[in-house]
Chains A and B, each alone.
Chain A
Amino acid sequence: MADLQANLAGIKSPNPFWLASAPPTNSGYQVLRAFEAGWGGVVWKTLGTPITNVTSRFASFTYKNNRMAGMNNIELITDRPLEDNLREIRACKEAFPDRAVVASLMEVCERDAWHELVKRVQEENIDGFELNFGCPHGMSERGMGSAVGQHPDLIEQVAFWVKEVARVPVIVKLTPNITDIRFGARAASKGGADAISMINTINSIMGVDLDTFKPVPQVDGMSSHGGYCGPTVKPIALNMVSDCARDPEVNIPISGIGGVETWKDAVEFLLLGASNVQVCTAAMHHGFAIVKEMIAGLSDYLDSKGMASLDPLVGKSRDTITTWNNLNLNYKLVAEVDQDRCIHCNKCFVACEDAAHQCIDQVLQENGVKNLVVDQEHCVGCNLCMMVCPVDCIEMIEVNTGKAPESWKQRTAALA
């Protein structure tokens, strides 16, 4: 049995699965349920001056029959008094001393205000702080959340103020609603943050009701942009985690957030350089029990790979990501259809015919069946047919081009 203990800049938890600062960590009652289910840590719903929320607040992106493939929200930070939250934090930490409890904080950009909040919160036995520079709605209009996260100089300044008084590790949570997340990450690092977490939610409008002509989620017939999250944001989050993990100027640990629902999602974040992961939408959709399989699956996976802990996993694939101009132009893959497993839905045919390179033929056999045969001479190895195949009977096969590897960078350098 592998040891699943995770360590994010000195914040230890028995497993790498934390609940992100969000509705599931709104109260001690919920956090106790989460810890009972097995979650390794929680980032408490952001503490600050209590706000007033609106109804409704959430909306689902439903794809075909799949509800909450994505979701967005316009809920703000905690609407409960600080003392109530702190009392519950204390109770949870006492009941589960081995779990990580991180306090998410939000304040106006004033040194004294931040100092006061940090000092008060760390009177409790917390394991760390997460500075919410990500919330993209409501709070940002008041100069907080992503309004800070969109200004690297403010990120650096606030991180610095917090580090002046903080006695526990400080994580800076970054917004993806920027041109290049590395600028915010570098600023956090420069300000002295011990770690960064990403991504917070993405600016989004979920939709418009075709009959009422009102947006969703609607508040008395109106809406504002919300924060998008859930399974469909994972690729965006992975890219940003990868960017920061590979950036020498960032150089601090990362807590990966964005669309994590299973242990496999978590492993991908770890492989690209995250030290742990945070989960919200999946818990909102299915409840806290999902962590049981996340733990079991990750443990079995590590065993199957002969890994005793998470350490060999973290960053293992980090350096397989590079820029496009470093990719080998002379590498060639072609598709091949396993005729025995093909069910003849012809989805690969029409995908290639209409949207790729017209390299799959329907070849009529003597038994009247039209086999799908790849014209490997012209196949550009794009993967599309393999992706649309519902039974995974198309394999991409490497072809020896007989040419030495050559990247665009090398080719243009040779021409210069």
Chain B
Amino acid sequence: METPFPGADIHKPLSKAEVSIESSRCLYCYDAPCMNACPSHIDIPGFIWQIADGNVKGAARTILESNAMGASCARVCPVSELCEGACVYHHDDTPIRIGDLQRYATDHVRETGEQIFAAGPETGKKVAIIGGGPAGLSTARDLRRFGHAVTIFDAHEELGGLNTYGIVPFRLATDVALWEAKQVTDMGVTVLANTRVGTDVRMEDLVRDFDAVVIACGMGGVPSLMIEGEERAWDALDFIERAKTGKPLQGELGDHVAVIGAGNTAIDALTCAKRLGVERVTCYYRRGEESMTAYDFEYEFAKQEGIEFRLFCAPVKIDDDGLHLVKTKLEHGRLHTIPGTEFVEKVSTVISAIGQGRLLETLEGLGVAVDDGVVRVDEHMNTTRKGVFATGDVIYAKGQREAMVVEAAQQGKIAAKAIEAYLMPDRQPAPPAPLPKLTPAGHSHDRRTITNVTPYPVSAAGPGA
């Protein structure tokens, strides 16, 4: 898949010298804040120590052990909100470039072509996974390590889901997403590509033929704008997919592209259009900066790319004259349109990026409880149907979970563990035997454990003073 973008990959890999400096700079914190901030709990101080030690393959293993999507997360994770934001150097100094070091380690094994993980001894159990995106692949990887047979059903030609099709290539190159998928499939996974559950195969057949089923089909396309002429607007995800795979676009982009919405997909569509050579690219958003769901660094990046932002204006209609908008204002937290402020922007193309819709039709046929398009799960990713699990964006609900690759990877890990416990109750590891209770040498009493009681009194003069 050729990328049409000049100067692809906005982010340069670290040089050897930078790797040496960054890895040596890491303090190797204990109970490390970066690790605690990582949704997939990668042993960050551990893998950085390994890099500093020259064991780059070991570092990659540490990363991928916790996160099967470690290579793509190194590129697309909002690190300033997660690990790097939590780095103890964050306030007085520059945080360690954790994402870039993670990329260095995973790039290393990508280049050497090594297979890091092997499948476990076959158990004879079979699991069907609906959707081969980050959540499905992560589940598949760990299920293979447990030794269960895995079949992935995916609607696309290639695996990887949004990593392969939905994230602009200058943030996440296709070959990275495909390498990550191949690391999983090379462990012995049956892949049924271009296969849609509900139309090409029936859920009931899966439940009958497999010992467990995982729903990891993510979300759907961009929902309706609910305005006149909305059929003229392009779906942002469809646009990015076409641009990334080199398929023909929906039409001519022209000289002024308008993108409706201000989330991360909107930023991707905006910057993608700009890099395709469009002279003017403008974001239209009905609220202000503080309400944008795009990460701050994404917003900054878009501005640096030369994207215009028109805030507090809502689309009204799309017709031959262009995009009709009306100005809006916030009053007591509620958004109002301001009558008499309608205006027309003579744009050549309108792209809608107002979020992702739900795959309601697909979900309806699965026989699991669905709340507003979100599959209901417990903390072990069990749906309401026995033997059926769900992970990834299909369980993403505002205020509950984040729609991030790293979250999907983590949920896949949890699901695989839960499926293993479900399928193989007899081989679950026994809890470790309790250790003998010893008091630290010289202490007159037991250690105080971590509590939320008033801090231990500290006096400059010391005890007894």
> Which A residues form the contact surface with B (CB < 8 A)?
64-66, 332, 334, 336, 343-347, 349-350, 357-358, 361-366, 370-371, 373-378, 380, 390-391, 397, 399-400
Query: Which residues on the B side are within 8 Å of A397 (C-beta)?
Result: 460, 462
Query: Which residues on the A side are within 8 Å of B453 (C-beta)?
Result: 363
Q: Could you tell me if B21 and A65 are in contact, using CB atoms closer than 8 angstroms?
A: yes
Chain A CB within 8 A of B443 CB = yes
Q: Could you tell me if B456 and A343 are in contact, using CB atoms closer than 8 angstroms?
A: no
Query: Which residues on the B side are within 8 Å of A64 (C-beta)?
Result: 24, 52
* Cα distance, A400 to B440, chains bound together (Å): 24
Chain A CB within 8 A of B20 CB = yes
Query: Which residues on the B side are within 8 Å of A390 (C-beta)?
Result: 27
CB distance from A402 to the nearest CB of B (A): 9
Q: Could you tell me if B465 and A363 are in contact, using CB atoms closer than 8 angstroms?
A: no
Q: Could you tell me if A350 and B455 are in contact, using CB atoms closer than 8 angstroms?
A: no
Q: A65-B24, A347-B30, A373-B456 are in contact. Are A364 and B450 (CB under 8 A)?
A: yes
* Cα distance, A377 to B440, chains bound together (Å): 13
Q: Could you tell me if A344 and B441 are in contact, using CB atoms closer than 8 angstroms?
A: no
Q: Could you tell me if A361 and B88 are in contact, using CB atoms closer than 8 angstroms?
A: no
CB distance from A370 to the nearest CB of B (A): 7
Q: Could you tell me if B88 and A345 are in contact, using CB atoms closer than 8 angstroms?
A: yes
Q: Could you tell me if A344 and B462 are in contact, using CB atoms closer than 8 angstroms?
A: no
Q: Of A346, A371, A377, which one neighbours B31 at CB under 8 angstroms?
A: A346
Chain A CB within 8 A of B91 CB = yes
Residue of B nearest to A380 (CB): B442
Residue of A nearest to B460 (CB): A397
Chain A CB within 8 A of B372 CB = no
* Cα distance, A362 to B28, chains bound together (Å): 17
Query: Which residues on the A side are within 8 Å of B458 (C-beta)?
Result: 336, 373-374, 376
Number of A-B residue pairs, CB cutoff 8 Å, is 89
Q: A334-B462, A397-B462 are in contact. Are A347 and B443 (CB under 8 A)?
A: no
Chain A CB within 8 A of B322 CB = no
CB distance from A329 to the nearest CB of B (A): 15
Q: Could you tell me if B29 and A345 are in contact, using CB atoms closer than 8 angstroms?
A: yes
Query: Which residues on the A side are within 8 Å of B121 (C-beta)?
Result: none
Q: Could you tell me if B447 and A358 are in contact, using CB atoms closer than 8 angstroms?
A: yes
CB distance from A106 to the nearest CB of B (A): 40
Q: Could you tell me if B24 and A343 are in contact, using CB atoms closer than 8 angstroms?
A: no
Chain A CB within 8 A of B89 CB = yes
Residue of B nearest to A391 (CB): B92
Chain A CB within 8 A of B448 CB = yes
* Cα distance, A349 to B89, chains bound together (Å): 18
Q: Of B92, B442, B461, which one neighbours A399 at CB under 8 angstroms?
A: B461
Q: Could you tell me if B27 and A347 are in contact, using CB atoms closer than 8 angstroms?
A: yes
* Interface pairs (28), CB distance under 8 Å: A334-B462, A336-B458, A344-B88, A345-B27, A345-B88, A346-B31, A347-B28, A347-B30, A349-B31, A357-B440, A357-B442, A358-B440, A358-B443, A362-B31, A363-B455, A364-B450, A364-B452, A365-B455, A370-B31, A371-B455, A376-B459, A376-B462, A378-B444, A390-B27, A391-B92, A397-B462, A399-B462, A400-B465
Q: Could you tell me if B463 and A376 are in contact, using CB atoms closer than 8 angstroms?
A: yes
Query: Which residues on the B side are within 8 Å of A334 (C-beta)?
Result: 462
CB distance from A343 to the nearest CB of B (A): 4
* Cα distance, A390 to B91, chains bound together (Å): 14
Query: Which residues on the B side are within 8 Å of A349 (C-beta)?
Result: 30-31
* Cα distance, A378 to B448, chains bound together (Å): 12
Q: Could you tell me if B456 and A357 are in contact, using CB atoms closer than 8 angstroms?
A: no
Residue of A nearest to B24 (CB): A65
CB distance from A335 to the nearest CB of B (A): 10
Q: Could you tell me if B89 and A343 are in contact, using CB atoms closer than 8 angstroms?
A: yes
Q: Could you tell me if B440 and A347 are in contact, using CB atoms closer than 8 angstroms?
A: no
Q: Could you tell me if A343 and B91 are in contact, using CB atoms closer than 8 angstroms?
A: yes
Interface flags for B25-52 (1: CB within 8 Å of A; 0: not) read 1011111110000000000000000001
* Cα distance, A391 to B442, chains bound together (Å): 29
Q: A378-B443, A391-B92, A399-B461 are in contact. Are A361 and B448 (CB under 8 A)?
A: yes
* Cα distance, A390 to B30, chains bound together (Å): 13
